[in-house]
């Protein structure tokens, strides 16, 4: 696998809002240099961003460019506190980049050979397993160069 591990996320929205910002941290003039909020540290000027979906690298892809949806409830104790689906804005390295969704071969063949009417097509199938996405080498190299 390529060295380094990072996650990709799709930002969501705060209920009743059109924004992904759940909270902005204004700590200037405060005695504190940082504040912990829902298990994550935030400094002055940071924002807690709502995450709708996390994607993580697939271990069996040696290129390190394939990602799958992460299920935050998998392998957790039902009595434990749910994981906060938040990310600190200071941790973002890139935004608004394309990911290619990869369909299982048997579904891809059906999608290509199926008859369409008026441009309609199946957008998302339920119960067929986790979605898999591929990041381009160019984008991956660009993102990594920002962190060096």
With a cut of 70, say whether residue 121 has pLDDT above it: no
What pLDDT sits at residue 29?
Answer: 81
What pLDDT sits at residue 46?
Answer: 96
* 32/121 Cα distance (integer angstroms): 53
Q: Which of 135, 51, 34, 136 is nearest to 92 (CA)?
A: 51
Lowest mean pLDDT among 81-85, 93-97, 143-147: 81-85
Q: What percent of the chain has pLDDT over 70?
A: 72
Q: Cβ(143)–Cβ(109) under 8 Å? A: no
With a cut of 90, say whether residue 12 has pLDDT above it: yes
Of 127 and 33, the one with more pLDDT: 33
Residue 1: which pLDDT band, with cuts at 50, 70 and 90? very low
Q: What percent of the chain has pLDDT over 90?
A: 29
CA–CA–CA angle 33, 49, 101 (5° rounding):
140
Q: Find the distance separating the first CA and the last CA of the chain, reported in whole Å.
A: 18
Whole-number average pLDDT of the chain:
79
What pLDDT sits at residue 88?
Answer: 94
With a cut of 60, say whether residue 15 has pLDDT above it: yes
Element (H, E) at 64: none
């Amino acid at each position: 696998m390529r060295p380094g591990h990072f996650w990709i996320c799709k930002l969501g929205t705060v209920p009743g809002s059109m924004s992904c910002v759940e909270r902005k941290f204004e700590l200037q003039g405060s005695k504190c240099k940082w504040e912990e909020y829902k298990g994550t540290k935030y400094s002055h000027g940071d924002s807690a961003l709502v995450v709708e979906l996390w994607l993580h690298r697939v271990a069996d892809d040696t290129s390190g460019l394939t990602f799958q949806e992460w299920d935050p409830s998998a392998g957790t104790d039902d009595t434990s506190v749910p994981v906060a689906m938040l990310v600190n804005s200071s941790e973002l390295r890139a935004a608004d980049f394309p990911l290619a969704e990869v369909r299982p071969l048997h579904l891809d063949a059906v999608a290509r050979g199926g008859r369409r009417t008026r441009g309609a097509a199946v957008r998302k199938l339920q119960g067929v397993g986790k979605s898999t996405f591929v990041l381009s080498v160019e984008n991956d190299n660009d993102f990594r160069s920002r962190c060096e």
